[in-house]
Structure 1
Amino acid sequence: MTFVTDPFQADFMLRALVGGVLVAVLCAVAGTRVVIRGMAFLGEALAHGMLPGVALATLLGVPVLLGAAVSAVGMTVGISMLQRRGRLSYDTSIGLLFVGMLALGVIVISHSGSFATDATTILFGDVLAITSADILALAVAATAGVLVAVLAHRSLVAAAFDPRVAETLGLRPRLAHVVLVGLVTLAVVASYQAVGSLLVVGLLLAPAVAAGQWSHRIPIIMLLAALFGAGAVFAGLLLSWHAGTAAGASIAAVAIALAASSWSLRAATRTARPVAPTDVVAPAAV
């Protein structure tokens, strides 16, 4: 067992594991809703759309999380405005702002004098540099995310499957949509500084996709997604330690591999349902 346990004797690896598991829990809560609603593009856009705020915060010497939060909120408001006033579709609005924010962020970074290093850190983060303060912040964010998901469960479910019925029942689907976007923003912003935008997207989507192969109940999917995400963090850190690969990229790759393996295994074990004989209906007497 030394192959498995030895890496986590190092304090920085243990902190990376704890922080990564907290990210997995938070992303499982938000990611399950994102996958169910078919809003994966929003999660990716928010993760990469934070680039201008992060770059400006770095240059100005202010907290990176503050810059990320301002940028993410600005992008969310911009998407809403383009939909309502520009009469654009949801995907088109996200696509336009995503590219615009990403381009703006790259322009800002290119003036910092360390484009390659900064871009790598922004994309992959540095999960091995997670501190005790980061773990505390992630624990608070994960707790808040779980509470929001529990309290808004009925509204989010109704809005996901039939907004008109949700409106009739007084469950306020528009507010549920705002809550969902806020939940995704919380997951992306809280996890960004610790693990980077690429790993956030990987843990937001892949574990939820893997879990969705085994259950149709949302709470069960969330629980399985958290377990899959935690497993990806553990296996990715082991791979990074023994193979000398980048930790963040290794975790993201394992998460995607788990999703692919889960889908393949489910497809292989799903047996074809027997077709019942067609009932022959006698013609009515004339």
Structure 2
Amino acid sequence: MTGVPASAAGGPPGGRGAASSRAGADGASGAAGTSGPGPGAADRAAQEPGDGRPARGGKIAAAAVNQASVWNVANLLTMLRLLLVPAFVLLMLANGGYDPAWRSFAWAAFAIAMITDLFDGHLARTYDLVTDFGKIADPIADKAIMGAALICLSGLGDLPWWVTGVILGRELGITLLRFLVIRYGVIPASRGGKLKTLTQGVAVGMYVLALTGWLASLRFWVMAVAVVLTVVTGLDYVRQAIVLRRRGIAERRAALEESPG
């Protein structure tokens, strides 16, 4: 039907049909060399609804652009730490596990893994590079390198199994505890927890190296401090989890009592 207005054809004035008509008119006038807007106006009219709001597809595209790529520097450091786990185990157990040279290479792999642990989280938070992959892979990489080192040391007889059990049991237990109380809130990392991680890394690194003399005695005391901090900070996390759960339950009960009906 020629000559029928867009409003009469079922499209609201200023809607997508009108926008398309205006886009066609603008394109035609631009082609004819008149003073009307050029093809760019037609593109904008086709991408935006008549009420002036951005198109839905444009919002989705903008959100996709704003999301950090998985292949960012923070995640690459996390991936490197994951790859260092099997490399560390191979170096640690090479030539029977007691060769000082191979133990030195294993220590280098362990040290690189611990150093990258200090940087990837900081980079992700500072430069807005936080991704779902990083949230999952980062704690896995942390526990994997520490667990591999402790198990290797205990398997070689350099470290009592009960020390490995206390440290790994605490790490797995606190991780599980965080998931259990996440409905009530998040347990923040404390300064004691960060000091514990640093002390554990130094102690395990000293045990990885084939030390003798007073350094071998010193590493015993460093590991003792690490075990104490492991237990103390673990108990503190349990206390925080109990307080968080009680507070969350109390807030829910108060909200139910205040709700009508």
Fold in common (TM above 0.5): no
Specify which structure has the bigger relative contact order, considering alpha-carbon pairs within 8 angstroms and separated by 6 or more residues.
1
Higher helix proportion: 1
TM-score (norm 1): 0.31
TM-score (norm 2): 0.33
Structure with higher Rg: it is: 2
